[in-house]
Amino acid sequence: MFRVDDRRLFCLIPVFFLFPEQAAAHAFPERLDPHMPFTWYLAGAAVAVILSFICAACSMRSVDTALHKSTFLVPSQLERTLHHGGRIFGVLALLALLIVGILGPQEHWERNLLPVTIWVYFWVMLLLGCALIGNVFSVINPLATLGRILAREPHGTITSAWPAAGFLLCFAWAELIWTHNTNPQALAILISAYMLLTMLAMRCFGAEAWLRHGEVFHVVFSLAGRMAPLSTSHQSGRKVLVLRPPGSGLFTGGPSDHGRVAVILILLAMVSFDGYSETLAWSSLSGGIMHVLFQLGVVSSLGYTTAGAMAKTLGLVSAIVLVSSAFLVAVGLVAFLERRALGEAVCAYAPSLVPIAIGYHLAHYFSYILIEGQLILSIASDPLGLGWNLFGTAGHTANILDLNMQVIWITALVGVVGGHVLGILTAQRIALRRAASPNEATIHHLPLVVLMVCYTVFSLWSLSQPILEH
């Protein structure tokens, strides 16, 4: 038996960085919506600040007030149908996507089902669905199904989510920088390699242990599901559906481990850098970095594409460091006020960042859902590019003329400000459980309130900037 409870597996993950010559692009080729008006940005920032002070000023009589939950017994037959049906659907869908990725059209990514499904429906829409409704991914996760079938007696133990953090870092690099991230065959090979690594890890550490700490999508979607109004539980051996206040799972699920904290910080940093990398500010900064690389001879020796990948990789890593440092400083002040250890406070308060990350995720990617999400109509009719028209929609093209930009801006504002408010309320609830009185809790979590206000202002600022095409 051997034990893995530190960062050693983290070092085994970043295989994507071995291919810098194929880098420097976003999974989505461009954004088509104009930037949010500056007046909307000012109004959103003002609302966020006002709501922050209102939330911080609210003193609560009891930690458990407003935590009323309703439970509904799930019929046994329905539970078995959904359980087995979801597993079969997940496995078959994954296999079908890999086949289409290898055999389907390769010239244009928007004509192949694999990249559209992975980047639009899986990473954007399913993550939002898990956060806003409930964690359906836990039912359909094909890697969980295959791992439970193939797993044997574990030979080691793993107690922290550092491997998941490493995989998420690689996923961020693949989404934001790797130019082949929309190449169907390359994407299919990458997914297959990840499947193989996951199966090997599950045989080594056990399926359930690796799902909790190593399978990055299970970890990320479970974190998102903790803020959803729907969850499941067991009572007297029967599964029940739980209807709860949104976000309540973030402060009732217990503290995170340090690896899970890293996952949350990387998730927040990657969507933040994605938004920032589309602004003129990043264009100017990356131009300065490229100038330095040119002066050092990197551009001439490695090529412009590789140098551009290095510049953007530096930006992504810097965003992670900046977000992590800001969070550590804020929580350090909280820990000082609480007179508790920094490491324990970091694990306790990290879940309060999840609503903020999900809110900006919605704001940043909402237009992609409306535009790129239409591609499924034409692809479904001809998945292999053989000239079929199974559903009569083969000639459908994305329609952007009917998009209401005010709806997009309002959704972005609601996403950012709503995530901000839910994050503050979550931090306040966590502080209430750790403080002797509501007044102390209000004072203790003020540094986090300031941090969240600053991040919300940054998010709204990035949404208000002119968009640069990738």
Name the phi and psi angles at 178, rounded to 5: -65, 120
DSSP H stretches of helix in 62-215: 76-103, 113-116, 127-132, 137-140, 142-150, 162-176, 184-205, 207-213
Residue 1 has pLDDT above 50, yes or no: no
Q: If pLDDT is split at 50, 70 and 90, which confidence band does 286 have?
A: confident
Cα–chain center distance at 204: 27
Average pLDDT over residues 443-455: 88
In the predicted model, is pLDDT for residue 3 greater than 50? no
HSE of 427 in the Cβ direction (CA atoms, 13 Å)? Answer: 35
Average pLDDT value for residue range 441-462: 87
More confident residue, 179 or 97: 97
DSSP 435: S
Of 51, 123, 124, 429, the closest CA to residue 247 belongs to 429
Mean pLDDT of 371-396: 74
Choose the weakest-confidence range: 127-136, 293-302, 330-339.
Answer: 293-302
In the structure encoding, which two tokens stand for residue 28, read together?
């989505």
**Confidence band, pLDDT 50/70/90 cuts, at residue 265:** very high
Predicted pLDDT of residue 177: 92
The closest of 274, 334, 296, 137 to 218, measured between CA atoms, is 137
Mean pLDDT, residues 374-385? 76
Q: Higher confidence at residue 183 or residue 26?
A: 183
Structure tokens at 341: 């250890």
- What DSSP string runs through 167-202? HHHHHHHHHHTBGGGG-HHHHHHHHHHHHHHHHHHH
**pLDDT for residue 458 is more than 60:** yes
Residue 378's pLDDT band, with cuts at 50, 70 and 90, is confident
Q: What is the pLDDT of residue 71?
A: 67
Q: What is the pLDDT of residue 334?
A: 93
C-alpha triplet 394, 396, 397: angle, nearest 5°: 135
Place 62 in a pLDDT band, splitting at 50, 70 and 90: very low
Task: Report the range of poorest mean pLDDT among 21-35, 91-105, 455-469.
Answer: 21-35
Residue 31 has pLDDT above 70, yes or no: no
Residue 150 has pLDDT above 60, yes or no: yes
Band (pLDDT 50/70/90 cuts) for residue 14 is: very low
Range with the poorest average pLDDT among 33-42, 137-146, 293-302, 420-429 = 33-42
Residues 6+ apart with CB under 8 A from 449: 52, 55, 56, 424, 427
**Residue burial 108-138, b: 16+ Cβ < 10 Å; e: rest:** ebbbbbbbbbbbbbbbbebbbbbbbebbbbb
Residue 94 has pLDDT above 80, yes or no: yes
* pLDDT class of 57 with cuts at 50, 70, 90: low
What region, left, alpha or beta, does residue 236 occupy, with left being phi > 0 and alpha being psi -120 to 50 degrees?
A: left
Residue 337 has pLDDT above 60, yes or no: yes
The reported pLDDT for the residue numbered 67 is: 56
What value does the mean pLDDT of the chain take? 82
Q: Scanning the structure block, which residue is given the tokens 């082949």?
A: 180
| Count of residues making up the chain | 470
Identify the weakest region by mean pLDDT among 2-16, 22-36, 249-263, 355-369. 2-16
| The pLDDT value given to residue 199 | 94
Per-residue model confidence (pLDDT) at position 468: 59
Q: In the structure, what pLDDT confidence band is assigned to residue 238 with cuts at 50, 70 and 90?
A: confident
pLDDT band at 18 (very low <50, low <70, confident <90, very high): very low
- pLDDT: which is higher, 470 or 248: 248
Element (H, E) at 42: helix 38-57
Residue type, 213: H
Query: Could you tell me the pLDDT band of residue 58, with boundaries at 50, 70 and 90?
Result: low
Answer whether residue 168 shows pLDDT above 90: yes
Q: Residue 45's pLDDT is what? A: 73
Question: pLDDT grade, residue 300 (50/70/90)?
Answer: confident
